[in-house]
Structure 1
Amino acid sequence: MDRVLGVVQGGTAGPPAYGFEVGYVEPGGSELRRPLTDAWAVRFEDSAPVRGFKSYKGQRHLPGLWWSATVGGHIGYESWLERDHVMLLDFDPTVVGVSSQPFWLFWASEKGKGISHAPDYFARRDDGSAVVVDCRPVDRRKTRDWAKFEATQSACDQVGWEFRLVGAPDAIVVRNVRWLAGYRHPRHRLEPVASALRDVFAEPRPLASGATEVGDLVSVLPVLFHLLWLHDLAVDVSVPLHAESLVSPEAVR
């Protein structure tokens, strides 16, 4: 994935001269604005979006809602690119919370001009660390965008968050994860099929032959795909998923 390297293209205003502030919406609906350094411990993964997802006739972007198995609810997106990345965050076994448009970041340029930016996603990992994500195709990153991305990088550095500026993800990974996502809902975790699949794949073996050993593929495969989504079992999603794909026990993280 792409990442801002601290260079603003075009020489426009980047990080602030006077510090950052953040504006966000608490779970109860209260709107707050405070210095970033006072808000580093806020659970932004639980924040409501600070701005809406507009939909209108003829728009180029396709907004929508992604049902997240991680949070058990919907997360908004403004484009298919954002949808793909929130799906990948949902698939990441280290991520325990995600929110979209989590906060406004406010700062002033050296000339005193007020600037604001709302990153696309905030994700919390199971070790307590956090990542802030901005999604923008490489060919659509304008000079003014680079300034805001560099400022967001600087803000994240100040509070110990990772910042990612991402473009189009790997197409094969997206196709595989999108397929598994069709089975992400807990209703697909059926016993005793799930336990039988874990036993069968205690040692690596091809997907179809292992599933056939458990029972009828029509009833077994949805459970297997759910276990792969959960990372209870592992498969290489960087290559096309097929009947001979090697399924293994849960990968060590």
Structure 2
Amino acid sequence: MAVPARLCGDSALSAFELEFSGSIGRRRLPLGDVWSVRFEEAAPVRQFRWAKGGESFPGWYYAVTTADHVGYESWLERDRLVLLDRDPKVVGIASQPFWLHWHDGRESRRHAPDYFVRLADGRARVVDVRSADRLDERTADAFEATREACGAVGWEFEWADAPEPVFMANLRWLARYRRRRSGRPAEVASRLMDVFAEPLPLWTGAERAGDRLQVLPVLFHLLWSGRLNTDLESALLGTDSLVRAGRRSS
């Protein structure tokens, strides 16, 4: 068990502490005092650095959701950012927004969750990313402690495993066209919505809408945004993929 039972419930509000960078500098306060902080705007509590020969692959991803760059430390974390960026329910994302401190009954522990997410309805979600085959006991304990801390203040907690590979490969491609400029000119987008009012193969519909060199970036942007739909889970996106207008269901 990650955390002794005495830390669960209301006692967790003081037993857990958060360390973060605020407007007046670095602070460390009980969880119950800071649960309302807008952590989706927080700076990372540690730097993203390349290490020669290291296993991590840090970088910065430009999220259209926030119109800003969000850090990641692995390809798996980058993939999760792509998924979050495309989720219409997500309105804010911050990477490694705080250190969570607690005592597990044997020693003092700390953990920096990968992402803090703000949802459109105001709810908060903390996300940790780790493939199941790399989830050791110590990391699992940290995730469980984070889950208990989140539960004490009404935040959601999500452990994100590796995504389904075909779906993720398709989203990586569409993410190239995530910026709003890819959806212009507006008249091309309008033509595409009319052309795909009924299902058509991607290549056929693109040809009907105009010059493919101009049309395809707009088409891919509309697929990214969900205004156009196709099956992204069963097969890689291709010229024969059936596309139709309409918001995706999730």
Same fold (TM over 0.5): yes
Offset, 1:29: 6.4
Structure that is richer in helix per residue: 2
Give the Cα separation in 2 of the matches to 1:75 and 1:16: 36
Identity level (%): 48
Contact 1:173–1:237 (CA<8 Å) still a contact in 2? yes
> Which residue in 1 is equivalent to 2:33?
38
> Which residue in 2 is equivalent to 1:250?
247
> Which residue in 2 is equivalent to 1:147?
141
Larger relative contact order (CA 8 Å, sep ≥ 6): 1
Which amino acid in 1 is paired with 2:132? V
> Which residue in 1 is equivalent to 2:98?
103
Change (3 A) 1:143 1:127: same
Change (3 A) 1:226 1:209: same
After TM superposition, list the pairs within 5 Å mapping 1:164-183 onto structure 2. 164-183=158-177
Residue-by-residue CA offset, 1:196-248 (whole Å, 9 max, x unaligned): 11222233332222221110111101001011111222222212212222223
Which amino acid in 2 is paired with 1:22? L
Change (3 A) 1:195 1:23: same
Give the Cα separation in 2 of the matches to 1:193 and 1:149: 46
Kindly indicate whether residue 158 of structure 2 is the aligned counterpart of residue 157 of structure 1.
no
Query: RMSD over aligned Cα, in angstroms?
Result: 1.9
Q: Secondary structure at the match of 2:191?
A: helix
Offset, 1:176: 0.2
Which residue, 43, 52, 76 being the options, matches 1:48? Answer: 43
Q: Secondary structure at the match of 1:187?
A: helix
Offset, 1:179: 0.3
Contact 1:16–1:110 (CA<8 Å) still a contact in 2? no
Give the Cα separation in 2 of the matches to 1:165 and 1:46: 21
Give the Cα separation in 2 of the matches to 1:165 and 1:223: 34
Change (3 A) 1:234 1:37: farther
Change (3 A) 1:29 1:170: farther
After TM superposition, list the pairs within 5 Å mapping 1:84-95 onto structure 2. 84-95=79-90
Change (3 A) 1:127 1:203: farther
Which residue, 114, 128, 134 being the options, matches 1:134? Answer: 128
> Which residue in 2 is equivalent to 1:217?
212
Per mean C-alpha deviation after superposition, the further-off stretch among 204-213 and 167-176 is 204-213
Change (3 A) 1:238 1:148: same
Change (3 A) 1:238 1:129: same
> Which residue in 2 is equivalent to 1:5?
none
Q: Secondary structure at the match of 2:53?
A: coil
Residue-by-residue CA offset, 1:169-216 (whole Å, 9 max, x unaligned): 110111000000111112212121011112222333322222211101
After TM superposition, list the pairs within 5 Å mapping 1:185-204 onto structure 2. 185-190=179-184, 191-204=186-199
Residue-by-residue CA offset, 1:116-150 (whole Å, 9 max, x unaligned): 11000111111112221111122222221111111
Unmatched tracts of structure 2, length 5 or more: none
Kindly indicate whether residue 26 of structure 2 is the aligned counterpart of residue 24 of structure 1.
no
What TM-score comes out, normalization by structure 2 length? 0.89
Kindly indicate whether residue 226 of structure 2 is the aligned counterpart of residue 231 of structure 1.
yes
Residue-by-residue CA offset, 1:58-113 (whole Å, 9 max, x unaligned): 111111111111111111111111111111111112111111001111112234x3
Change (3 A) 1:144 1:225: same
Change (3 A) 1:235 1:16: farther
**When the two structures are aligned, how many residues end up with a matched partner?**
241
Offset, 1:167: 2.2
Which amino acid in 1 is paired with 2:247? E
Unmatched tracts of structure 1, length 5 or more: 1-7
Give the Cα separation in 1 of the matches to 2:53 and 2:4: 33
Q: Secondary structure at the match of 1:107?
A: strand
Give the Cα separation in 1 of the matches to 2:112 and 2:118: 17
